[in-house]
Amino acid sequence: MSSEGRLRLALYNTRAAVILWFAGVRDALCVWRCIEFFVHDPRILRKTGECFGLNGLIFLGSILLWDYGLSPGMQWLLRAVGSTAGAEYILACLQAVYILLWLLPVYCISFALSCVWYQELAELAMRWLQSHAAAAGDAAGERAGAKEAAGGSPLMVQMAHEVYRVVLFGVFYLQVSLLGYLPYIGKGLYLILVSWLYALYSFDYRWGLSRKHLQQRVAFFQQHWAFFLGFGCVCTIATCSWPFFKQAAIMNMAYPLFILVACKSDPLKAYKEVAQHEKAAGRSLTHPPLPIFSAATWMTSFILQNFYCTLQVPGMLAQHRWKVAAVAAAAVLACVLHTLSVHL
């Protein structure tokens, strides 16, 4: 293929990716889909309200209490007593104490509770969609869904897949965080990768309930990467300009809505609509997959294989227990320091 042909193909692929990206953005903005869930199942509305209450009133309220209440009050008090020389240092120390003793525990508790509520919310939403499809006369779809759910893997296989999923998501998040520190391109890479991460989190609850294997989810995600980039971009734009804790609180509040929208979203349908539109215009849609998770998948396999070998050799885990403990403590300390450096 000539250089002109390659350039034309690259421009065409870019155009197709932009169209699919807009389809993802459009889908993510269809928040009105949540109203249907709220009207037909009050439990979904109640669970969403609990997420708003915990993350909005308690978590975000604690942040605003410091920013607009305690911090100005401390500044006024320090100026009143005439301690202006070390006022900034004292205020920074008080803020660090407030974060360590209050905001960080509230963040951990809200994160743990929200994860449980997100799972329950997705289960309620998918259950209502199945019952709605059955009431609409989609018996074939109902039988297929029941067959798929009943034909699940053995318990040990499911546990192995869940462990692999958790490690993969953790490794990918670490990869996103590290790439964000690259000079010049780090910020842009971070925004793109975190958009994919938000989209993956939003759709993974639904895919997990449909008994799709992780390899199928990853392959589907990488095939429709432009759509998911657009979907997650809405989440990123809504939170990227805030400090760490505010970003976490706002995202935890909005995340139930994105889960509900993802439950009714159909990336494959959007892809087919774009393909039909291009075909009507005399063009064929070429949208090659993007290996987003290649590095994370390799690292996850490496970690799990070495961990499995360590467990298999008698005494090896006990022999290296101090190294394992040191690495775990260093990881926790790094997370705490990163949180403080971002917020302070």
Mean pLDDT of the chain: 81
Packed helices 225-239 and 186-209: angle between N→C axes, nearest 10 degrees: 110
Question: Does residue 47 or residue 326 have the better pLDDT?
Answer: 47
CB 173 within 8 A of CB 197: yes
Distance separating alpha carbons of residues 125 and 37, to the nearest angstrom: 7
Angstrom CA distances, 229 to 27, 49, 63, 344, stand at 11, 28, 30, 30
- pLDDT for position 161: 73
- The predicted-structure confidence for 200-215, as pLDDT tens digits, reads as follows 999 998 998 887 788 8
Q: What is the spatial distance between Cα 249 and Cα 175, in angstroms, rounded to a whole number? A: 22
Query: Which residue pairs, CB below 8 angstroms and at least 24 apart, start in 139-146?
Result: 145/210
Secondary element (H or E) of residue 266: none
pLDDT digits (tens, 9 = 90+) for 77-94: 888 876 666 778 888 899
| Arithmetic mean of pLDDT, 261-277 | 88
**Comparing 127 with 5, which gets the higher pLDDT?**
127
Name the residue ranges covered by the structural domains of the chain: 3-312, 314-344
Half-sphere exposure of 277 (CA within 13 A, CB side): 11
Q: Is the pLDDT of residue 313 over 70?
A: no
What percent of the chain lies above the pLDDT cut of 90? 40
CA 290, CA 272: separation in Å to the nearest integer?
Answer: 18
Which range has the worst mean pLDDT, 58-62, 152-156, 253-257? 152-156
Q: Which residue has the tokens 């920074």?
A: 92
pLDDT beyond 90 at 53: yes
pLDDT in tens, 105-132: 999 999 899 989 999 999 999 999 888 7
306: how many CB neighbours lie within 10 A of its CB?
10
Entry pTM: 0.81
Length of the chain: 344
Q: What is the percent of the chain where pLDDT is above 70?
A: 80
Nearest to 245 by CA among 98, 120, 119, 121: 98
pLDDT of residue 225: 94
pLDDT at 234 > cutoff 90? yes
Q: Please state which of the ranges 11-15, 32-36, 157-161 shows the lowest mean pLDDT.
A: 157-161
Q: Is 210 strand, coil or helix?
A: coil
Please report the pLDDT score of residue 260 as a whole number: 95
Cα 311 from Cα 24, distance rounded (Å): 43
What's the confidence (pLDDT) of residue 154? 61
Are the beta carbons of 335 and 178 closer than 8 angstroms?
no
DSSP assigned state of 99: I
Per DSSP, which regions of the chain are E strands?
Answer: none
Contact by Cβ (8 Å): 20, 270: yes
| Separation between Cα atoms, residue 294 and residue 184, nearest integer Å | 23
Cα–Cα distance measured from residue 294 to residue 203, given in angstroms and rounded to the nearest whole number: 19
CB atoms within 10 A of CB 328: 10
301-306 LR contacts (CB < 8 Å, sep 24+): 303/167, 303/171, 304/163, 304/164, 304/167
Residue 198 near residue 161, CB atoms below 8 Å: no
Nearest 10 degrees: Cα torsion 167, 205, 267, 179: -30
* Mean per-residue pLDDT, 182-190: 90
How far, in Å, are 15, 275, 304, 314 from residue 11 at the CA level?
Answer: 6, 16, 40, 57
Cα distance between residue 224 and residue 267, in whole Å:
7
